[in-house]
């Protein structure tokens, strides 16, 4: 296990360094591609509720996608980071409803719905740094989304799990630990990759 953790840490560092070199123009162009391909996924556009997140920094952009989902009549839930790194949720009500939060994040200003609100989602958009050919996702290592995925599993909920990445972040192999769960799809600026997960 410790070996996998060390390999994950090294891979995270390398991927974050690559992201740091992306220009604002690269990020904006990638976001346009992500929106186009994400909206091809009927599991997103036809879900009554989608749990998503607000991209920050050089992450693949989600803000345009959040608005596009809302325009399609989808109820979008956004995470609120709690003190213990678990996630609470609130409804996204447009760009003006976001406020700065800890760790440079943006969070919805509306009423908190509780950690179990994610169980209402027909699809969950997950942040990540990479995904492999099996659909195993590499997150940032904070564990917040591992808790979300565990909560879904314990409740018997099986929403579509979709990670948003740059095209070069789909890699042959990501180290796997016992708590890791595969995603169903990865959306990149070049298209959608489906997995058996």
Average pLDDT over residues 82-86: 93
Q: What is the pLDDT of residue 177?
A: 80
Percentage of the chain lying above the pLDDT 90 cut: 82
pLDDT tens, residue by residue, 146-163: 899 999 999 999 999 999
Kindly tell me the sign of the dihedral angle through the C-alpha atoms of 197, 35, 25, 61: negative
Q: Which residue has the higher pLDDT, 80 or 5?
A: 80
Q: What is the pLDDT of residue 179?
A: 79
- Which pLDDT band, with edges at 50, 70 and 90, does 3 fall under? low
Domains of the chain, by residue range, sit at 2-194
DSSP conformation letters of 131-145? EETT-BEE--SS-HH
117 CB-near residues (< 8 Å, 6+ apart): 77, 88, 89
Residue 182 has which token pair? 């595969």
Is a pLDDT exceeding 80 seen at residue 165? yes
How far apart CA 75 and CA 47 sit, in angstroms, is: 8
Is a pLDDT exceeding 70 seen at residue 97? yes
What single-letter DSSP state applies at residue 11? H
pTM: 0.93
- Which pLDDT band, with edges at 50, 70 and 90, does 139 fall under? confident
Cβ pair 50, 121 in contact under 8 A: yes
pLDDT tens, residue by residue, 12-51: 999 999 999 999 999 999 999 999 999 999 999 999 999 9
* R_g of the chain, CA atoms, integer Å: 16
How far apart CA 31 and CA 35 sit, in angstroms, is: 6
Domain 2-194 has CATH 3.40.50.10420: yes
- Which pLDDT band, with edges at 50, 70 and 90, does 8 fall under? confident
């Amino acid at each position: 296990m410790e070996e996998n953790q060390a390999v994950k840490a090294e891979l995270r560092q390398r991927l974050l360094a690559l992201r740091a070199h992306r220009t604002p123009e690269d990020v904006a162009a990638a976001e346009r591609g992500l929106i186009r391909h994400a909206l091809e996924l009927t599991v997103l556009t036809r879900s009554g509720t989608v749990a998503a997140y607000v991209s920050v920094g050089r992450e693949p952009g989600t803000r345009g996608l959040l608005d596009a989902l809302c325009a399609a009549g989808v109820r979008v839930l956004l995470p609120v980071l709690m003190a213990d790194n678990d996630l609470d949720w609130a409804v996204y009500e447009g760009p003006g409803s976001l406020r700065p939060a800890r760790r440079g994040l943006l969070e919805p200003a509306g009423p908190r719905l509780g950690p179990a609100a994610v169980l209402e989602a027909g699809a969950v958009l997950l942040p990540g740094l990479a995904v492999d050919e099996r659909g195993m996702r590499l997150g940032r290592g904070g564990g917040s989304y591992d808790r979300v995925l565990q909560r879904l599993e314990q409740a018997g909920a099986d929403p579509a799990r979709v990670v948003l990445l740059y095209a070069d972040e789909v890699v042959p192999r990501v180290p796997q630990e016992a708590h890791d769960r595969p995603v169903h799809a990865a959306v990149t600026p070049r298209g959608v990759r489906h997995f058996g997960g």
